[in-house]
């Protein structure tokens, strides 16, 4: 039967106590993370590891241990520490490949840049990249750390280097995150750059600082606040609107109607982190309601399990989601009590 447990034995060579200690982590934390996420039990003695679980899970854990052991190979005579973050990402990639049931299809969505290959690290990221390629307008919606902006910028860079588009345009609304910064000194560029820094960082990582600066000087890459999009028609461009939860309904409509011929647009945002005044509705939330049935538009929703930052970030997102659900349930109960017959009679 497919549900029958199996035991798999693994010998990691060469047997090196320092490398094995790095693999297991302090107090075997790395192994515990593997056990919890893959659904297996791992025991070991020296370089002999025994894995117990479902056959498929055992094979996944076996392959992960082998690949992670390679990461502990000495560099300049010293054994590097295997960080929990690296283990977390490796597990997510393994789960994504297993869920795909087709590693060849996953490889089709690898993104090549000058600095290396950017690859989706889970099933939702793979589908997100595929949808960006297939659709003219793509929404990426979900919590911070799920790769929405990073993958969008990587796909834009890939399209530019393939000469599928002539330029990249990156924009976001200049809205403070719950703070009033007041007057900002400097010229226009210096005033808006702090809002656009995450977009710069992604570009620098993929193309290098000097290359990005040259492309910006030639207007091949343009980074501007959303307010500067009004009145423009964007042809032969890859356009990314970041932090779109902070657009108003009018701004979102204005942006979407800028899209011209042979252009792609990716809109990213997190509807749980809106920094607009309470009286204003988020343009992203409104777009989900209005455009959900338009075939040419793709909506991709990420969850806390898709977070690829430090593992604690996913748990933070989950904790906030649970709290918001509890608060909403309490509010709904109060509303129901107020609307019951006889409640408002004197």
- pLDDT confidence of residue 310: 61
pLDDT above 80 (res 137): yes
| Residue 343 pLDDT class (50, 70, 90 cuts) | low
> Among 252, 254, 222, 225, which residue's Cα sits nearest to residue 238?
222
Specify the DSSP element, H or E, that contains 11. strand 6-11
pLDDT above 90 (res 107): no
> Among 259, 273, 42, 270, which residue's Cα sits nearest to residue 147?
270
CA distances to 3, 61, 81 from 18, rounded to whole Å, are 36, 21, 9
Residue 166: exposure state from Cβ atoms within 10 A (0-12, 13-18, ≥19): middle
Is 308 within 8 Å of 146 (Cβ atoms)?
A: yes
Is 152 within 8 Å of 268 (Cβ atoms)?
A: yes
Helices (H), 79-139: 84-100, 103-107, 123-134
- pLDDT confidence of residue 187: 52
Domain layout of the chain by residue ranges:
6-99, 109-307
- pLDDT confidence of residue 231: 84
pLDDT above 60 (res 314): yes
Does the domain made of 109-307 have the CATH classification 3.30.300.30? no
**Average pLDDT rounded to a whole number, residues 107-112:** 65
- pLDDT confidence of residue 276: 87
pLDDT above 90 (res 292): no
Query: Percentage of the chain surpassing pLDDT 90?
Result: 36
- pLDDT confidence of residue 195: 66
* pTM (two decimals): 0.63
Query: Percentage of the chain surpassing pLDDT 70?
Result: 83
- pLDDT confidence of residue 265: 95
Which pair of structure tokens corresponds to residue 207?
A: 């193309």
> Among 309, 287, 334, which residue's Cα sits nearest to residue 140?
287
Does the domain made of 6-99 have the CATH classification 3.50.50.60? no
pLDDT above 60 (res 141): yes
Phi, psi of 301 (to 5 degrees): -110, 120
Residue where the block lists tokens 């929404």:
139
Choose the most confident range, by mean pLDDT, from 85-94, 98-107, 242-251.
Answer: 242-251
Specify the DSSP element, H or E, that contains 195. helix 188-207
The whole-chain average pLDDT of the chain stands at 82
230 compared with 18, residue with greater pLDDT: 18
- pLDDT confidence of residue 179: 44
pLDDT above 80 (res 191): no
């Amino acid at each position: 039967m497919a549900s029958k447990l199996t035991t798999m034995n693994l010998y990691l060579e060469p047997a090196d106590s320092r490398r094995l200690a790095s693999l297991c982590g302090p107090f075997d934390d790395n192994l515990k993370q593997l056990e919890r996420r893959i659904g297996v039990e791992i025991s070991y003695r020296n370089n002999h590891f025994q894995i117990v679980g479902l056959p498929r899970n055992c094979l996944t854990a076996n392959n992960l241990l082998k690949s992670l052991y390679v990461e502990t190979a000495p560099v300049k005579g010293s054994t590097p520490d295997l960080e929990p973050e690296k283990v977390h990402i490796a597990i997510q990639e393994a789960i994504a490949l297993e869920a795909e049931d087709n590693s060849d299809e996953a490889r089709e969505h690898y993104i090549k840049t000058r600095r290396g290959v950017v690859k989706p690290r889970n099933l939702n990221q793979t589908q997100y990249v595929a949808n960006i390629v297939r659709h003219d307008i793509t929404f990426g919606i979900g919590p911070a750390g799920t790769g929405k902006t990073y993958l969008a910028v990587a796909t834009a860079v890939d399209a530019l280097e393939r000469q599928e588009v002539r330029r990249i345009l990156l924009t976001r609304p200049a809205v403070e995150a719950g703070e009033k910064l007041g007057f900002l000194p400097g010229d226009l560029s210096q005033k808006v750059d702090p809002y656009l820094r995450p977009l710069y960082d992604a570009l620098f990582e993929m193309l290098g600082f000097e290359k990005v600066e040259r492309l910006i000087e030639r207007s091949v890459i343009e980074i501007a606040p959303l307010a500067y999009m009004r009145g423009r028609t964007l042809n032969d461009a890859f356009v990314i609107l970041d932090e779109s939860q902070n657009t108003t309904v009018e701004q979102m409509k204005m942006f979407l109607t800028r899209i011209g011929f042979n252009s792609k647009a990716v809109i990213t945002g997190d509807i749980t982190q809106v920094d607009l005044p309470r009286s204003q509705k988020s343009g992203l939330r409104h777009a989900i309601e209005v455009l959900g049935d338009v075939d040419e538009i793709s909506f991709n929703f990420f969850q806390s399990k898709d977070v690829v930052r430090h593992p604690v970030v996913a748990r933070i997102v989950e904790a906030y989601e649970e709290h918001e659900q509890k608060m909403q349930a309490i509010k709904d109960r109060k509303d129901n009590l107020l609307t019951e017959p006889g409640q408002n009679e004197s």
